[in-house]
């Protein structure tokens, strides 16, 4: 079971090492800054470096978060293997380049797929469990990455994540399985460092919507 996660980790470690030596993602991200959605608030200090740090953390947590969710699903008697295999394959089969030359940009879409799949599975299982399974809110992080990937490509990845999440719709858990899942979830909550809100830690947030009034119709 753990080979898929080891392969993911190896791909991520190589990409992070490459970025530290070459800085390719940081250089390329400068071109993406003007098209980031205006609802995303970023600190005004070295934006390329800031976003690169965010992307590294976004990618790095994938193996551990997936593995934790697999443990939780196993506690409830649910089969997580197909999800792990699909996402593991996307990491281990990067574009046709030498593995040592696969950087952060090549793994960002794989990480987005993983994060969105976590979100979809959480949404499908929440009715059966009566509570969210995951002790974090990925909304802001996923929105930022969605803007980096582009709406069209992110939409294609969303379709895959939705299909993976559908495998968990309408699950009927036995009382014993439900108790086991709740206890497993409690252990996750007791170790908050495993589930960092790195968007908030890096001061990345969503601006509140601006309400525009038509002065000609306000009396």
Q: Report pLDDT digits (tens) over 40-74.
A: 777 777 788 888 988 999 999 999 889 988 988 89
Q: How confident is the model at residue 162 (pLDDT cuts 50, 70, 90)?
A: very high
Higher pLDDT, 19 or 169: 19
In this prediction, residue 192 carries a pLDDT of: 54
pTM, whole model, 2 decimals?
Answer: 0.86
Write down the domain spans for the chain: 3-206
Integer CA distances (angstroms), 30 to 88, 144, 170, 185, 192, in order: 29, 15, 44, 39, 33
Burial 178-206 (b: 16+ CB within 10 A, else e): bebbbebbeebeeeeeebeebbeebebee
Q: Is 145 within 8 Å of 41 (Cβ atoms)?
A: no
CB 113 within 8 A of CB 87: yes
Q: What is the pLDDT of residues 190-211, one digit of tens each?
A: 665 566 677 777 788 777 655 4
Using the structure block, give the residue that is written with the tokens 């996923």.
142
Dihedral angle computed from the Cα positions of residues 180, 186, 188 and 189, in that order, rounded to the nearest 10 degrees: 160
Structure tokens at 65: 């978060």
Mean pLDDT of the chain: 82
- Spatial distance between the Cα atoms of 71 and 134, rounded to a whole number of angstroms: 12
Is the pLDDT higher at 150 or at 156?
A: 156
Greater confidence (183 vs 163) lies with 163
Please give the pLDDT value at position 91: 83
In DSSP terms, 206 is beta-bridged to 40
- In DSSP terms, 205 is beta-bridged to 41
Q: How many C-beta neighbours within 10 Å does residue 86 have? A: 17
Instruction: Give the residue, 132 or 22, on which the prediction is more confident.
Output: 22
What does the alpha-carbon distance between residue 93 and residue 90 come to, in Å, rounded to a whole number? 5
pLDDT digits (tens, 9 = 90+) for 88-103: 888 876 554 444 446 8
Cα distance between residue 37 and residue 123, in whole Å: 25
Could you tell me what percent of the chain has a pLDDT over 90?
A: 28
Q: For residue 150, what pLDDT is reported?
A: 86
Portion of the chain with pLDDT greater than 70, in percent: 84
């Amino acid at each position: 079971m753990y080979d898929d996660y080891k392969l993911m980790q190896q791909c991520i470690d190589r990409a992070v090492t490459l970025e530290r030596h070459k800085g390719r993602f940081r250089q390329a991200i400068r071109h993406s800054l003007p098209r980031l959605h205006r609802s995303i608030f970023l600190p005004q200090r070295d934006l390329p470096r800031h976003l690169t740090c965010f992307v590294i953390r976004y990618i790095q947590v994938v193996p551990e978060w997936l593995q934790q969710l697999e443990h939780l699903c196993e506690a409830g008697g649910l089969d997580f293997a197909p999800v792990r295999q699909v996402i593991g394959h996307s990491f281990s089969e990067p574009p046709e380049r030498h593995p040592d030359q696969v950087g952060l940009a090549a793994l960002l879409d794989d990480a987005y797929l993983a994060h969105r799949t976590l979100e979809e599975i959480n949404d499908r299982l929440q009715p059966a469990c009566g509570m969210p399974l995951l002790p974090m809110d990925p909304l802001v992080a996923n929105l930022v990455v969605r803007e980096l990937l582009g709406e069209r490509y992110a939409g294609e990845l969303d379709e895959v994540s939705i299909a993976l999440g559908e495998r968990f719709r309408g699950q009927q858990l036995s009382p014993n399985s439900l108790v086991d899942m709740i206890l497993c979830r409690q252990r996750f909550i007791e170790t908050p460092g495993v589930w960092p809100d790195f968007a908030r830690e890096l001061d990345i947030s969503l601006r509140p919507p601006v309400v525009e009034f038509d002065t000609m119709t306000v009396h």
